[in-house]
Chain A
């Protein structure tokens, strides 16, 4: 066992004082093909110059509406989708610039949890085998030990030992998400990228899973990149939050700062649009006009100007810089 652990961590030399994850000016473009010869006629700029830093033990929330590119950021970080340009550094090591073998050693340290755990589980594989599979694949435990490790992780995720020999269809949505989490957790990751992990769940079950995420972070010192469209969930889990719109980061700030002093008009509108379960509450609502523009043909200047109630000429012409406004609060807006 001791040897195996060494083998797994041998791959890289962690840089001193480097953050756990650093993303610098990440761009991921998808080509649009068309015509007789299937030529590339343009690009969907799903992620267009995103930078973010995750310190060990923190939870960064990435929020945005559909098409904002938040999921592509998560996928590009762990190289499920290849980036177009930019850098992704894990403990100071460039994930896009290392031998295949080293990357394979690193993979267990970065795990992804998906929205719909049902479609990511093979219906014919017993849950215990599905969870243990990754451990064997990466050679992180001998076969005899696998079952014990699976039982440990099942228990940590609030499932029972008799669940180990069941099939995915025998579980409810909430339990399946627990299986998805167990599967990621068994590899002892440092970083978990969770892509809308509670969006498909009912409220009462959602609360259980949110609590589980929190508990696991406290007991195992995990770092989360939590991708969600639901601001109320993000507020409960995340220490820092980034707001994306059409592939661009509009604003990042520590949680309380963002929720009490949102600066970007998009963040303000997003916050005011979240329905609050208090019927007497009368809020000033900013209802945005129109739809999110087509990401293949985003507006010039500030990408938000077509829906922004305060847009001026400069917004239509110049891309706003991502500026530091003090107390770790960054915003890309001409008017702030």
Chain B
């Protein structure tokens, strides 16, 4: 059995608004093993990105705050170490790729400078060594003419190329964990295919663990080993990718999978989950999915189901699978 790279226990992150506290991440626990790709999937507002931001210590106070939980990484709790220590881990042991490469890169610094920065900061390379390594990295992510590209500025490159540069920066220090937040959402499908191939290659060659956040079930099926489905800040189901896609247990997961149009499997009417995501300010003690669920029972309206193990590694938080609950 492989070791866990990171263990997150009971993470809760809240945002404070004038109307009240929004529980963006609500008691989330997850583990990522060495060399494993874990995908968090969910719709907008389900808390998938905030989970990643919390791991990286990027939740901005005072509007938001990690209120509870532990994030174990190499014997340390990332929520309880000082800023200096966190800086040494970020970009070095844990690296992150964001959705918008254009807005994550500094427009007034050359590509080379931005790839060299973590190498000089964390690996203590000299400027000359860092430049040499930067050229190698840019070539590694499949960009031709790397010597010229390192001297160009972000606006001179296309979105796909910038996302590769982001990946080059992220893998520059051989991170143990790579967090990618919707890395291909802003890209065209043919470019998306290139980037997914690259992530797969990185994982195979350097045994890097990947936490990938996406709303696209197709991307999940292509790249994930293990899948976590979030809804309104909570994990509703998780499991190995094949099990979860072939035998989804939670009505929300089932609904999501059925609403996605698949080429070659056309239906006259697409299945769609009725209603919409509940207002995060008005969540009560209940299953958060109850008013959209076709199997809703009386207990679902008054009590929150807990995430329990089912077959294999699959877990689900749903009253349908609890013994001793009257179905009706």
Contacts and interface: CB of A to CB of B under 8 A. Distances in A.
Contacts of B197: 287
23 contacts: A174-B276, A203-B259, A204-B255, A207-B261, A211-B269, A211-B272, A229-B189, A235-B264, A236-B261, A269-B190, A274-B218, A274-B263, A277-B245, A277-B262, A279-B221, A279-B222, A279-B241, A281-B221, A287-B190, A289-B194, A291-B158, A291-B160, A291-B191
Given A229-B188, A232-B261, A285-B193, 13 more contacts: A202-B44, A206-B259, A231-B263, A236-B266, A275-B219, A276-B221, A276-B222, A276-B263, A277-B218, A277-B221, A278-B245, A279-B221, A280-B246
Interface string A272-309: 11111111110001011101100000000000000000
Given A274-B218, A288-B194, A202 B43 contact: yes
B221 A66 contact: no
B109 to A, nearest CB: 22
A174 B275 CA distance: 10
B271 interface: yes
Contacts of A33: none
A12 interface: no
Interface string B255-291: 1110111111011111111001100000000000000
Interface string B116-160: 000000000000000000000000000000000000000000111
B56 interface: no
Contacts of B193: 272-273, 275, 285, 287-288
Interface residues of A, number: 42
Interface in B211-270: 215-222, 224, 241-242, 245-246, 255-257, 259-264, 266-270
| Chain A at the B interface: SS class | helix
Contacts of B29: none
Contact of A203 (B192, B241, B260): B260
B161 interface: yes
Contacts of A277: 217-218, 220-221, 245, 257, 260, 262
Contact of A211 (B192, B270, B276): B270
A275 B43 contact: no
Given A231-B263, A279-B245, A205 B191 contact: no
A155 interface: no
Interface of B: 43-44, 158-161, 188-194, 196-197, 215-222, 224, 241-242, 245-246, 255-257, 259-264, 266-273, 276-277
Contact of B272 (A207, A231, A270, A280): A207
A275 B302 CA distance: 38
Contacts of B262: 232, 276-278
B70 to A, nearest CB: 31
A142 to B, nearest CB: 35
Contacts of B216: 275
A259 B159 CA distance: 28
A214 interface: yes
Nearest to A283: B222
A190 interface: no
Interface of A: 65-66, 172-175, 202-208, 210-211, 214, 229, 231-233, 235-236, 259, 269-281, 285, 287-289, 291-292
B97 to A, nearest CB: 18
Nearest to A274: B189
B272 A278 contact: no
A277 B259 CA distance: 11
Contacts of A236: 261, 266-267, 270
A173 B44 CA distance: 10
A289 B218 CA distance: 21
Given A203-B256, A277-B220, A210 B261 contact: yes
B131 to A, nearest CB: 24
A288 B196 CA distance: 13
Contacts of A289: 194
A271 B196 CA distance: 16
B261 A279 contact: no
Nearest to A175: B276
A283 B241 CA distance: 17
Contacts of A285: 193
Contacts of B259: 203-204, 206-207
By CB atoms of chain A within 10 A, which of B256, B259, B269 has the most? B259
A211 B258 CA distance: 13
A231 B264 CA distance: 11
- B196, B219, B260, B271: residue with the most chain A Cβ atoms closer than 10 Å: B260
Contacts of A203: 43, 215, 217, 256, 259-260
A259 B190 contact: no
Given A174-B276, A203-B256, A211-B272, A276 B218 contact: yes
Contacts of B260: 203, 207, 232, 277
Nearest to A206: B259
Contact of B263 (A65, A229, A232): A232
A208 B276 CA distance: 11
Nearest to B186: A66
Nearest to B43: A202
B264 A259 contact: yes
Contacts of B256: 203-204
Contacts of B224: 279
A253 to B, nearest CB: 14
B230 to A, nearest CB: 13
A270 B189 contact: yes
A280 B242 contact: yes
